Amino acid sequence: MNNASSKILTLAALSVAVSIGFVGCGSQSPSASKPVELNLLDSFLPNLSESYNVSLNIKIKDFEAKHPEIKLIRDQSSSDVLDTKVPTLGAANQLPDLFAVRSSWTPRFADAKEVMPIETLMKDDKTFMDGFIPGMLDDFAYKGSHYGIPWQAMPISVMYYNMNLLKKAGINKIPATFDEMLADVKALKAKGITPIVMGDKGKWQCRLLFSGLNVRTAGTDYLEKLKSGQMKFTDPPFQTTAGVFDQLAKAGAWNPDFSSIDYTQARSVFFNGKAAMYNEMVTFAQIEDEQWPAALKSAIQFSFFPQLPGEDLGKGINVPIATDWGIAFNSKLSGNKLKAAQAFAVEVLGDDYTKVLESKGGIGVRKVEGVDFSGVPEAVKRYFTDLAPKIVVGGHIDGRMPAAVTDEVSANLQNLMLGQVSASKALENIQAALDKALKSK
């Protein structure tokens, strides 16, 4: 999820001109005796309450009302169903005009020439292309082009702190450096308080932290460098990352049952005031209004993981951003269908959608201003004001590495946290898995 040096979510003025809803320099509505049919396969089911789901359905209805000359034919399934359905349609060369796509499928569909590069789709609309926050299309990047428009961003690895528990251990502020965090862990342990709760039964929460630390030590483009052979997991930046896990484990930072409880159970431990710190996605802040107890709301602070040894934070904080899902466009689109798809991109996935999404607490991939945050949970407002302007976009390991590698990462991190493998051996094992995956391509 790139050498981007711009900070995300820094508000910038941006306007998109749309003439009768169709984009491009002087492009017009398709002239046809009957409506242009545009087939859309999506997972935006009407009963789902996620901010992006609600916002996309609002904009799709607006699009249909505005464009009687376009007949949008929707085929809707859950994302779990699409995991099988979309690749099956692709294998049969029967993909619809527009369809929901996982970023991890990008190489497969691009090599088969079944999807259209966004640069080609929007070649006459530089304003639309320039409106993306730097790095936000990178999960859909392949061989110099991008093959999907994501509908939301998910910053990975934010540290949440229960100040009531920290104060019980004589700690009055969140740690600014890793050395301070280690000292806080020891102070909390001395008071019988679990320092950091983790629920890694699903074998992904440890990877969130690993991703969050890697972009800080190895740079936002480290995943591409690993795959190209310019870097190895055994290099010094990753030794620093693995060393953080090792030192925290030796200090007894985590709950002993971290590998046998899942993230929902870990959340409950933190909700109930049984652990002082918790690492998760921004998703955790987004559920504040519905699930955070009142006592937690008043006690919680959140920030980036503390500054690492030797880290320069002068240009911002490198943070992995996952987009995961997006809309792809069939490579066969042409004529009036292509114009209709261009209009869909601008009106359903563009600036106006981003404003609706962020007004509902979601996080967009485009630079917009004038968002109404009055209905957004307080924690999400704090994210937008305090954290977002400092972020430099990096990639998340889950979306950019083969499954065999991510599995090896989880297995070795758990073993490292349990004291069953050394930091250096864990990194050797992960690199061996990457070498094997690259050779099998």
Residue 41 confidence class, pLDDT cut points 50, 70, 90: very high
In-domain check, residue 254: yes
Claim to verify: residue 61 and residue 142 sit in the same structural domain = yes
**What is the reported pLDDT for 31?**
52
Flag whether pLDDT at 121 surpasses 70: yes
Distance, in Å, from the CA atom of 39 to the CA atom of 19, rounded to the nearest integer, reads 22
* pLDDT reading at 5 higher than 60: no
Separation of alpha carbons 408 and 430, rounded Å: 6
Cα separations (Å) of 33 from 30, 177, 336, 341? 10, 66, 12, 18
If asked whether residues 342 and 416 sit together in one domain, one would say no
CA 380, 384, 307, 212 dihedral sign is positive
Check residue 290 and give its pLDDT: 87
Does one domain contain both 309 and 169?
yes
In a domain, 412, yes or no: yes
Beta bridge partners of 302: 160
Judgement on whether residues 314 and 331 belong to the same structural domain of the protein: no
User: Shortest CA distance to 324 belongs to which of 83, 131, 120, 61?
Assistant: 83
Q: Which of 255, 259, 263 is nearest to 283 (CA)?
A: 263
Q: How many domains does the chain have?
A: 2
| 9 found inside a domain | no
pLDDT of residue 12: 31
Q: Quick one: 273 and 258 in the same domain?
A: yes
Q: Does position 208 have pLDDT exceeding 80, yes or no?
A: yes
What CA–CA distance (Å, rounded) separates 149 from 326? 5
Could you give the CA distance from residue 89 to residue 58 in angstroms, rounded to a whole number?
A: 27
Query: Rounded mean pLDDT of 106-123?
Result: 96
Distance CA 414, CA 297 (A): 31
Considering Cα of 167, then 168, then 171, then 175, what sign does the dihedral take? negative
The answer to whether position 11 is within a domain reads no
Strand bridging mode 275-280 / 70-76: unpaired
SS3 100: strand
Q: Provide the pLDDT confidence category of residue 2 given band limits of 50, 70 and 90.
A: very low
Q: 131 and 351 in contact (C-beta within 8 Å)? A: yes
CA proximity to 248, closest of 426, 416, 420, 425? 416
Whether 270 and 407 share a structural domain: yes
Cβ-in-10-Å burial (0-12, 13-18, 19+) of 221 comes to buried
117: phi then psi, degrees, rounded to nearest 5: -60, 140
338 shares its domain with 422: no
* Same domain? 294 vs 407: yes
Higher per-residue pLDDT: 58 or 17: 58
22 has a pLDDT exceeding 90: no
Query: Does residue 255 contact residue 194 with C-beta atoms inside 8 Å?
Result: yes
Q: Which distant-in-sequence residues (6+ apart) come within 8 Å of 334 by Cβ?
A: none
In this structure, is residue 19 part of a structural domain?
no
Q: Give the residue numbers spanning the domain of 104.
A: 36-153+323-369
Question: Does residue 177 contact residue 216 with C-beta atoms inside 8 Å?
Answer: no
Q: Which of 155, 159, 186 is nearest to 307 (CA)?
A: 159
Q: Is residue 2 part of a domain?
A: no
What integer is the mean pLDDT of 194-217? 96
Same domain? 174 vs 132: no
Q: How confident is the model at residue 158 (pLDDT cuts 50, 70, 90)?
A: very high
Interatomic CA distance for residues 360 and 202, integer angstroms: 28
How confident is residue 315, by pLDDT bands cut at 50, 70 and 90?
Answer: confident
The answer on 95 and 72 residing in a single domain is yes
Range 309-315 contact pairs with CB under 8 angstroms and sequence separation of 24 or more: 309/178, 309/179, 309/240, 310/240, 311/216, 311/217, 315/5, 315/392
**What's the mean pLDDT when you consider all of the chain?**
91
Task: Say yes or no to pLDDT of 141 above 60.
Answer: yes
Domain boundary (350, 369, 388) is at: 369
Q: Return the SS3 of 343.
A: helix
pLDDT at 18 over 60: no
Structure-token match 């460098």, residue found? 225
Q: What is the CA radius of gyration of the chain?
A: 23
In a domain, 382, yes or no: no
The verdict on residue 407 lying in a domain is: yes
What is the full DSSP assignment across 2-66?
Answer: ----SBTT---------BTTB-SSS------SSPEEEEEEE---TT---HHHHHHHHHHHHHHHH
3-state secondary structure of 7: strand
Q: Supply the pLDDT for residue 399.
A: 83
| Neighbouring-strand partners of residue 160 | 278, 302
389-422 in b/e burial notation, b at 16+ Cβ within 10 A? Answer: ebbbbbbbbbbbbbeebbebbbbbbbbbbeeebe
For residue 6, pLDDT over 60 is answered with: no
Residue 349 pLDDT greater than 90, yes or no: yes
* pLDDT, tens only, 221-274: 999 999 999 999 999 999 999 999 999 999 999 999 999 999 999 999 999 999
Which of helix, strand or coil describes residue 270?
A: helix
Are 329 and 433 in the same domain? Answer: no
Interval 63-101: pLDDT, tens: 999 999 999 999 999 999 999 999 999 999 999 999 999
pTM given for the model: 0.85
Share of the chain above pLDDT 70, in %: 92
Q: 337 and 418, same structural domain?
A: no
Residue 207 pLDDT more than 80? yes
pLDDT class of 16 with cuts at 50, 70, 90: very low
CATH number at residue 143: 3.40.190.10
How is residue 81 written in tokens? Answer: 């169903």
